[in-house]
Structure 1
Amino acid sequence: SIEVRKELTDEWKERGMKKEQDYAILTDEITKAWSDKSVKQYKNLKNLKKENLRDNMTNLELVLNMLAEASTSEISKKQKPEGFEENVIVARKGGYAARQARVEIEKQTGDSIVSPVNAKTLIADKEKNLLDQTDKDDEE
């Protein structure tokens, strides 16, 4: 995830995007394209305040986010966007590639991938599963 993100920010630098604000806007465009939510909406869904969104994604959310970022990097390398607006278009294209994967997985499973599950929820579920398993072992 870190490597994919670094490759993307390096590509954006190559294309003249140097401001943190540009990165934030482009990241938001990628996120909206694949998840149908802005970063702010996504953080609200997961009940996050200052926590990092990536650190609170499920495995599938993280994989799709990485796919969106990697796709954006590849499209940018081929299309060589110039200026902020062209980079926004490429960011949306990269996000849309991951959106197609998300929609297909949701169709096949019947479950929404974009979910309110966060790190606290995941840890609580793991602890509960461990306790349940310990109880079963004690009964045997």
Structure 2
Amino acid sequence: MREDASRENGRLAIGLIAHDGKKQAMVDWALAHADFLRAGKIYATSSTGTRVAEVIDGLDMTRLRSGPLGGDQQIGAMIVEGGLDIMIFFVDPLGTLPHDVDVKALLRLATLADLPFACNPATASLLVAAMA
């Protein structure tokens, strides 16, 4: 765990982002890890957060802007300020990414901050197991 981790009331601050082609994968993953997510404070980009909240009750979630409309930068600012403990960002490697520079910047910030992050369900599940 990072020294400046943002644990709010002892709860993990979890960033959730998914490209359009990976939103269903995020929903499926979230359902499988609903208890973990309910125990944390979730910060999600707009449509990702909406999709997850539709299938899981009882989440403490803050929905940010859509990724291409500033949500990626909002998550990036949280990383810089030490406001996230982990980030789950399901990237669609085959999709067209008109805001590719935003995505690269976000992954660069997470790497620089030594923030645990996952870009696919298998790695996200490993992060959950490690954090439990």
TM-score by length of 1: 0.28
Larger-Rg structure: 1
Which has more helix, going by share of residues? 1
